[in-house]
Amino acid sequence: MDKIISLCKRRGFIFPSSDIYGGLANSWDFGPMGVELKNNIKSEWWKIFVHSRNDMVGLDSAIIMNPKVWESSGHTKGFSDPLVECKKCHRRFRVDHIVGDDVWNKVKDFFEEASNEDKEKKIKEMIPECPECKEKESIMAPRNFNLMLKTFLGVVEDKTSTTYLRPETAQGMFVNFKNILDSSRKQVPFGMAQIGKAFRNEITPGNYIFRTREFEQMEIEYFIPVPKDDKEWQDHFEHWRKQMAQWITHLGIDYSHIHELDIPKEDLAHYSKKTIDFEYEFPFGLSELYGLAYRTDFDLKNHENGSGENMKFRDPESGEEYWPHVIEPTFGIERTLLAVLVEAFNEEEVSSDDTRIVMKFPGWIAPVKVAVLPLVKNKEEIVSKATKIFNRLQQNFVCQYDASASIGKRYRRQDEIGTPFCVTIDFESLENNEVTVRDRDTMNQVRVNIDELENYLKENLNKK
């Protein structure tokens, strides 16, 4: 991870946020390369899951919503993690992260019912010392810690003006269910897709951009008729499992690095009848990349109860009214980006005294597609020709023009940001109208006529 983190800062993928003021814990800014990478991922996801399907519509809902939304969804009461604190160093930890999910699931009911004295005694047996300062018997009894970030609307900061930054994008889609039906004339089954920011006051964020308090989701709520039997919802669930697996492969991720974890019944979220986690082999261990959940009719039913509005779908043929059930594929953008970075990172020995770092992104993900490199920067004819080629290519490709340092160093810079092709304009180019095109992965070089350059790049980018 250290090498990837260093590369990301050096080459403009990811910076520590507020860096000149010492940063802010687990807060990150995406630089020129990082924002291109994110935008490529988001636009491709939207193209595949929205534009390429006739059963999907898009939405962009508000980050700050009526707080009653979060009461109806169960977030104000049930969206919490078990928190413990050290009496000495005052560091806070999630109990389940220290003792493991299996152990915590066996004892969490005890902590909900026991006296404070019994809770203190039990937690000292489970966590005999602070994981940070190593003080003995310093961990206090666990308490539930709500993960939603509070804010206030208006000029007075009191209970009447309290609201929350959304902890997920899903509820914006559920509360707009009737609006979408009325405006789009969609029939069940159909889905809504949304890309947007969410916020969670995580107790222990970390592992670089893997777990942060501010993050971005690509999420789908797919509404299906009330299943007559398990097979009906399982067929929809399996369809989306395959779609998610295909997307992972499309990202350039070797699927042998993915583990599909069927979440045990006792560990399921309160709204879920079945959940699969797609776990990826990150350098810090096997961790969740994506999730796929069957939410039944939990959300629409609760929002009808909370708002008093009819949230049912009326079948135009039978006239039957019902709350559709929901299959929910969820994709975290930062986790996607981190997995793509890990998968693309390669160190290669070019010779006995030369090693290069190369990011082998698929062509569609690469932040820069083509680099234009004049062999020398003090020869007017070469610079002029290189500039013309750059201006032309820029109409169809994301390009970089780089004229500083030796050609070898420039190749290495482009390798480190994953540029699939470098186009070098040299003295021969002035005579025969040909340029050298260097392939990032093989480092092979071919001469291509300038008139054929665009077609050559398009054809070969699609092969990456």
Q: What is the pLDDT of residue 80?
A: 62
Q: Which two tokens stand for residue 148?
A: 């939603």
Answer whether residue 51 shows pLDDT above 90: yes
* CA–CA gap between residue 185 and residue 180 (Å, rounded): 8
- Mean pLDDT over 156-160 rounds to 75
- Mean pLDDT over 270-297 rounds to 94
CA distances from 33 to 38, 126, 282, 365, 373 (A): 9, 45, 21, 11, 19
Q: What is the DSSP string of 12-65?
A: TSEEETTGGGT--TT-EEE-HHHHHHHHHHHHHHHIIIIIT-SSEEEE---SB-
Considering only 104-113, 170-179, 267-276, which range has the smallest mean pLDDT? 104-113
Tell me the pLDDT band of 243, cut-offs 50, 70 and 90.
very high
Q: Nearest CA to 393 among 366, 371, 411?
A: 371
Per-residue model confidence as pLDDT tens digits over 345-362 = 999 988 878 889 999 999
With beta carbons less than 8 A apart as the criterion, state whether 148 and 79 touch.
yes
CA distances from 176 to 89, 172, 300, 462 (A): 46, 6, 10, 38
Tell me the pLDDT band of 343, cut-offs 50, 70 and 90.
very high
Q: Which two tokens stand for residue 412?
A: 């290495």
Q: Which two tokens stand for residue 129?
A: 């010392």
Per-residue model confidence as pLDDT tens digits over 96-151 = 888 887 787 788 778 777 887 888 888 888 998 898 888 888 888 887 767 788 88
Orientation of helix 2-10 relative to helix 333-344, angle to 10°: 100
Which ranges of 58-190 does DSSP label H, i.e. alpha helix? Answer: 67-73, 75-78, 95-99, 101-113, 116-126, 170-175, 177-184
Answer whether residue 261 shows pLDDT above 80: yes
Give the CB-side neighbour count of residue 33, counting CA atoms within 13 A: 24
Q: What is the DSSP string of 106-120?
A: HHHHHHHHS-HHHHH
Q: What is the pLDDT of residue 112?
A: 74
Q: What is the pLDDT of residue 79?
A: 61
* CA–CA gap between residue 234 and residue 216 (Å, rounded): 28
Q: What is the pLDDT of residue 430?
A: 92
Residues 6+ apart with CB under 8 A from 245: 255, 258, 278
Q: Nearest CA to 300 among 238, 228, 222, 230?
A: 222
With beta carbons less than 8 A apart as the criterion, state whether 134 and 39 touch.
no
- Mean pLDDT over 396-423 rounds to 95
Orientation of helix 453-461 relative to helix 380-393, angle to 10°: 50
Tell me the pLDDT band of 36, cut-offs 50, 70 and 90.
very high
Question: What angle is formed at CA 320 by the lines to CA 315 and CA 323, rounded to 5 degrees?
Answer: 80
Max Cα-Cα span within the chain: 88
In sequence order, what are the beta bridge partners of 214?
Answer: 199
User: What is the set of domains in the chain, with CATH numbers?
Assistant: 2-66+149-342 (3.30.930.10), 80-146 (no CATH), 368-461 (3.40.50.800)
The whole-chain average pLDDT of the chain stands at: 91
Q: Nearest CA to 199 among 150, 129, 240?
A: 150
- Rounded percentage of the chain residues whose pLDDT exceeds 90: 70
Question: What is the amino acid identity at position 451?
Answer: D
Q: What is the pTM of this model?
A: 0.87
Look at the alpha carbons of 26, 31, 37, 42 in this order and tell me if their dihedral is positive or negative.
positive
Q: Which H helix or E strand runs over 215?
A: strand 214-224
Tell me the pLDDT band of 220, cut-offs 50, 70 and 90.
very high
Question: What is the amino acid identity at position 40?
Answer: N
In sequence order, what are the beta bridge partners of 322?
Answer: 313
Orientation of helix 333-344 relative to helix 32-46, angle to 10°: 110
CA distances from 218 to 104, 190, 358 (A): 30, 17, 28
Structure-model confidence comparison of residues 31 and 122, the more confident one:
31
Q: What is the pLDDT of residue 185?
A: 85
With beta carbons less than 8 A apart as the criterion, state whether 76 and 70 touch.
yes
Question: What angle is formed at CA 142 by the lines to CA 141 and CA 147, rounded to 5 degrees?
Answer: 155
Answer whether residue 205 shows pLDDT above 80: no
**3-class DSSP state of 77:** helix
Q: What is the pLDDT of residue 124?
A: 86
Residues 6+ apart with CB under 8 A from 384: none
Residues 6+ apart with CB under 8 A from 291: 275, 276, 277, 278, 328, 329, 330
Q: What single-letter DSSP state applies at residue 136? A: B
Q: Which two tokens stand for residue 383?
A: 């610079």
Q: What is the pLDDT of residue 377?
A: 87
399: Cα separation from own chain's centroid:
25
Answer whether residue 227 shows pLDDT above 80: yes
- Mean pLDDT over 170-185 rounds to 94
